[in-house]
Amino acid sequence: MTRLPTYFVSHGGGPWPWMKDQYGPTYAELEASLVDIKRQVGVRPTAVLVVTSHWETDDFTVSSGTAPGMIYDYGGFPPHTYQIRYPAPGEPQLAARVVQLLNDAGQPARLDAERGFDHGTFSMLAPIYPEADMPVVQLSIRHGYDPAVHLAAGRALAPLRDEGVLILGSGLSFHNLRQFGPGGALASNAFDTWLQHVLLELSPADREQALLHWSEAPYARMAHPREDHLVPLWVALGAAEQEAAACVYHEESFFGALTVSSFRFGDAAA
């Protein structure tokens, strides 16, 4: 079995794949980068584990239903975006495996058979697997956003990469909704420059230390007033902590002014 890379994906806003008439080319570069993930992976995964920034719990929680429903966790969008269906199946066996790995590593975890797909999952997956035939399991992030806890969770989940599971952390490298536009240009660029340096240039040990102290980065709290959309990065990196990173999406004019990026950890297919 091929060892699969892991990803941190900037997932965009709301149900954007279903709003191309409204957004025009706004998401063209992001969409192209997501489509290319399938090529980079090179093989068909057995399933996808999405670490979603849109699900916060006290203990790690894993979606375990066989046919997850939909969670329209956004507001003010056109009526048709509340009828979206992304009918990918769940994978209860994988969900149980995730809980086992986390519990064995001292990270309390439980199953949730009722949890549906949130937009951090279905909007990001739609370009990668448009047929919605890939089994999908979601993992929550933990309240408190402790970097060490989430890096450790990723470490515990690393064996899944040798079992054909694609681990995707779904967040956004800049997430300050009050500064979505020209007001966020400086902060998003400065924080992204720091993130690129840390992930692409530092040694694995120094990279981890920098992320443990991410709030000391330039414009950190302007880029992430709440770091929920950064947390999935730590899990994705933890699952491939000794491996090289690559930037797989970088845009400096997102919503006209913002700098955002996505990253892969581990090698792409030849």
pLDDT of residue 1: 63
pLDDT of residue 176: 85
Q: Architecture of 6-265 per CATH?
A: 3-Layer(aba) Sandwich (3.40)
pLDDT of residue 82: 97
Domain boundaries of the chain, sorted by first residue: 6-265
pLDDT of residue 239: 98
How, if at all, do strands 136-142 and 165-171 pair?
unpaired
Q: What's the Cα-to-Cα distance from 193 to each of 29, 143, 252, 259, rounded to whole Å?
A: 19, 27, 11, 9
* Closest alpha carbon to 124 in 111, 138, 110: 138
Tell me the pTM. Answer: 0.97
pLDDT of residue 8: 98
Residue 110 has φ and ψ, to the nearest 5°, of -145, 170
Task: Take residue 99 and report the two structure tokens written for it.
Answer: 């809980």
pLDDT profile of the chain (270 residues), mean per 10: 92 92 88 97 96 97 98 93 97 98 98 97 97 98 97 98 98 85 89 98 96 96 96 98 96 90 92
pLDDT of residue 270: 67
Question: Which residue bears the tokens 């230390």?
Answer: 209
CB atoms within 10 A of CB 78: 12
Q: What distance in Å separates the CA atoms of residue 153 and residue 48, rounded to the nearest whole number? A: 16
pLDDT of residue 63: 98
